[in-house]
Structure 1
Amino acid sequence: MTPQTTSATPIQAAGCVLWRLSPFGGELEICLVHRPKYDDWSHPKGKLKRGEDALTGALREVVEETGYTARPGAELSTLHYLANGRPKQVRYWAAEATGGGFVPNLEVDRILWLPPATARDRLTQPRDGDLVEQLLRSFERR
């Protein structure tokens, strides 16, 4: 920790609910990442670099974890929770995949493109399922 941070200072992170229209039928699909370190399924996200804007960090994390570039859409909720006993704050955006492709790496060994209901059920943390619902509501407002 730097001199200006304490164990009570929230870890700043950002991520996206990455989506696309299926190439096989045009249905909405959501990308989930599997992190072998935690053996969990989540939305792509990660810690911000010092001085990094949250949206820039969210899009960087999408590329690093999924190999896909993305066009950001509506800002979704900011989630607050404890990670290893320290508060963590994660800002999220809806983001449409615009290109790229997945290559397994040390941080993420698999991704899945799933229909929203299936994605919601596959997510390890229930709080992440709320983000799927917010994404769907953002489409209804269009």
Structure 2
Amino acid sequence: MTVPQKSVRAAGCVLWRRAATEDGLEIGLVHRPKYDDWSHPKGKLKRGEDALAGAVREVAEETGMDCRPGAPLPTSYYLVEGRPKQVRYWAAEAVAGAFTPSAEVDRLEWLSPADARHRLTQERDRPLVDALLAALHLA
């Protein structure tokens, strides 16, 4: 008999800021040296932590940004080392703060939606860019 594994619960944000560009906004992506990948800021929830609170905390920890969360975005489901993982996402506008590199996240880049879509390492993260634009009524 196999016991179903409990999902790893995580949360994050598709972080954006207003910009004087054709799109009118830029999306913040983080680089994690441990995985050498580009992703939206996200992380595991602490025991008993509300998903939205965890998403805002992860944005602050990984990017140094205070953010204003907005619309919920699609949840990602995937396996990590054979274990199911669920990541809940929100659109979130960066409102203040400054990035400081760390061992966990060594770079933060602000990119146009098209460039962000291409820079993201995981295919599963790309539809979140379109979901953000739709949530902001820019799609």
TM-score computed with the length of structure 1 as normaliser: 0.91
Kept in 2: contact 1:7–1:86 (CA 8 A): no
Match of 2:106 in 1: 109
Match of 1:126 in 2: 123
Equivalences, count:
134
Unaligned 5+ runs, structure 1: 1-5
Match of 1:52 in 2: 49
C-alpha root-mean-square deviation of aligned residues, in Å? Answer: 1.2
Match of 1:3 in 2: none
Partners of 2:5 and 2:54 in 1: CA distance? 22
Q: 2:66 aligns with which of 65, 69, 75?
A: 69
Displacement of 1:7: 6.7
Alpha-carbon distance change, 99 to 11 in structure 1, aligned in 2, over 3 angstroms: same
Runs of 4+ in 1 over 6 A off after TM superposition: none
Deviations 1:69-122 (A, max 9, x none): 000000001100001111000000000001001000010000100000100000
Partners of 1:35 and 1:52 in 2: CA distance? 23
1:39 maps to 2:36: yes
Kept in 2: contact 1:14–1:54 (CA 8 A): yes
Aligned-residue sequence identity (percent) comes to 66
Partners of 1:67 and 1:86 in 2: CA distance? 29
Q: Secondary structure at the match of 2:136?
A: helix
